Structure 1
Amino acid sequence: MAFFPDHIILTCTAVIFLFLFLFRRRRPRRKLPPSPSRLPIIGNFHQLGPLPHRAFQTLSKKYGPLMLLHLGSVPTIIVSSAGAAREVLKHQDAVFCSRPYSSVTNKAFYGGRDVALSPYGEYWRRNRSVCVLHLLTAKRVRSFHGIMDEETSNMIGEIRGSSSRAVNFQQMVRSMMMDVICRVTLGKKTSPKLNELMTDLSGILGKFNVEIFMPWLGWINRFNGFNSRLGRVVTGLDEILSGLLRERRDNKEEEASNFIDILLELQSENNAAFEDESIKAIILVQFFSKNFLVWILYRN
């Protein structure tokens, strides 16, 4: 068995350490914003408390309008001044416009095919132009005034018909707004099944998800029922949206009066670049965002 002389071993060891040292020195050090000290695993979560916005304000007074927090293992930049926000949202918007990847929103919203979730690029620009030029124009919004007037009249008629009986006005306004959103987005009024699924989805997305902040603990969601509940909701919503697409395709002679009809017309013009998954993603995110806003405004 052959042995290397000690001086050869020492020389090789010295060369290796020198190489590692030089390699480390050549790596550019990133200049990061100031950051409070953090704990292992949880990062700065212990400094947020029950009112995170108050904690952000307190920390920003000490560390400045641009600071770095570690939420679990995820580094997060906190912007807390108008000047810093303008720099991020206007001057550096192309750098910060993409949302971070999330397996939950990726599964719930068809792989992030909507304009709000898709990464910045050609696909995002195309979807943005669809929303700006076809779905949310001033002329298009004015065309929905009739739906709003009709649903408002129906609500007033329901109040008049209640006579002296007490009514839950908050619930009536919420139902009226949901019917308007459904007719504008889906072409028909809401249903109990759809309301149930959207409520469940709001609860899932609003719940703390350990995988977002500690990806290495994502396996927990397979055992606490999170993944199974999300899968049930996603499957149910996809069945409803697929059924609506089939239904609206069968009524081609009708004038485009809702988002689904408009998107189907765009698909017929360029089928290869606008698949059903993109339509369902745009519809679902549009409907979910408005539904979630109503839920926030009129929750008990």
Structure 2
Amino acid sequence: FLISLSFTHTETQMIMVDLRYLFVIILLCLGIKVLIQAINANRFRNKLPLPPSPIALPIIGHIHLLGPIAHQALHKLSIRYGPLIYLFIGSIPNLIVSSAEMANEILKSNELNFLNRPSMVNVDYLTYGSADFFSAPYGLHWKFMKRICMTELFSSRALESFVSVRSEELRSLMIRVLKKAEAEESVDLGEELKELTSNVITRMMFREKQPSDSDVCGKREEEVIKMVVELNELAGFFNVSETFWFLRRLDLQGIKKRLKNARDRYDVIIERIMEEHESKRKNVAGTRNMLDVLLDIYEDKNAEIKLTRENIKAFIMVNFLLKLV
């Protein structure tokens, strides 16, 4: 059925007026909600012995105090307010620590109270729901992975087994720099050191360097590094929807789609590497790499904590992030 609607000029004006009133009412309700939220936050703050804090503006908090160079602005604030400052970035509370003494109190004397990292939407999604060790909440999984890191992955014995790897890669770096010096070419030392770190981590994480390093698996490992750099940019991307509480249900920057696309591509690459590694590692003798250790725990039915493939993928991702960026 087709229904034809027609309005007179007067009726059209009345509809427009009604829409304007509706828009004003929506803005008014939103403003009242923001005001109530600010009042409640202020009351809550006054009841707690919180560190000193500058006067915050509604909605944006203390963003206006950070300026274009945030670390310099924070240094100036610390001179005025002391080594501990309580700031709001939008609606997210932050504790700013700017002295060695206070850092020692937080990271050592009161370690258990500060073990949990704040949940961030970007990082949480990229790490398969904080399935890694570094952003996981304090608990049985965190304790188990810490013990594995201390006794298996980053122990003195494990690091000593990769001395030859570090020596080879350092020698390669020196040869590259020497060749460029002989050719009187400039050397971007930052990029060279990044490549050194990348090569060492890749060989420690996945496998020893072999003549077949130019094969498909080797190329995929290089793709992992490129993907991790991209994921790091997304992890640190300023998410407006997360910063301001009244925008949390909106994806104004389209970041959710970008996060899903990037993690899906990473997942495909790392899954293929793990499958190929599983099929080949039983026939290859020699020093075990980090992926060997993680896969052994994954396959161990009697392990204290059962690792999932997502735990391994998230661990590899964050391990690259912490050392490459």
Deviation readout 1:94-143 (Å, 9 max, x if unpaired): 11110011121111112112221001111110111111111001111111
Q: Which runs of 5+ in 2 are unaligned?
A: 1-42, 210-217
Number of equivalent positions: 265
Percent identity over the alignment is 31
Computed over aligned residues only, the root mean square deviation of the Cα atoms, in angstroms, reads: 2.6
* Match 1:274 to one of 291, 301, 307: 307
Residues 155 and 63 (structure 1), Cα distance of their counterparts in 2 relative to 1, 3 Å cut: closer
* Match 2:200 to one of 180, 183, 195: 180
Q: Which runs of 5+ in 1 are unaligned?
A: 1-24, 293-300
TM-score, structure 1 normalization: 0.79
* Matched ranges for 1:196-207 at <5 A: 196-207=226-237
Residues 218 and 139 (structure 1), Cα distance of their counterparts in 2 relative to 1, 3 Å cut: same
User: Are positions 1:95 and 2:113 aligned together?
Assistant: yes
Partner of 2:6: none
Shift in Å, 1:157: 4.9
Shift in Å, 1:193: 2.9
CA contact (8 A) 2:63 2:90 kept: yes
TM-score, structure 2 normalization: 0.73
Partner of 2:292: 261
CA contact (8 A) 2:92 2:243 kept: yes
Q: Counterparts of 1:250 and 1:198 in 2: how far apart (Å)?
A: 24
* Match 1:129 to one of 137, 144, 147: 147
CA contact (8 A) 1:259 1:283 kept: no
Residues 29 and 218 (structure 1), Cα distance of their counterparts in 2 relative to 1, 3 Å cut: closer
CA contact (8 A) 2:117 2:137 kept: yes
CA contact (8 A) 1:66 1:84 kept: yes
* Match 1:63 to one of 75, 81, 93: 81
Q: Counterparts of 1:268 and 1:92 in 2: how far apart (Å)?
A: 36
Partner of 1:284: 317
Aligned residue type for 2:164: G
* Matched ranges for 1:116-155 at <5 A: 116-155=134-173
Partner of 1:298: none
* Match 2:58 to one of 23, 31, 40: 40
Q: Counterparts of 2:177 and 2:109 in 1: how far apart (Å)?
A: 51
Shift in Å, 1:205: 2.1
CA contact (8 A) 2:91 2:243 kept: yes
Partner of 1:234: 263
CA contact (8 A) 1:256 1:262 kept: no
User: Are positions 1:75 and 2:105 aligned together?
Assistant: no
Residues 237 and 38 (structure 1), Cα distance of their counterparts in 2 relative to 1, 3 Å cut: same
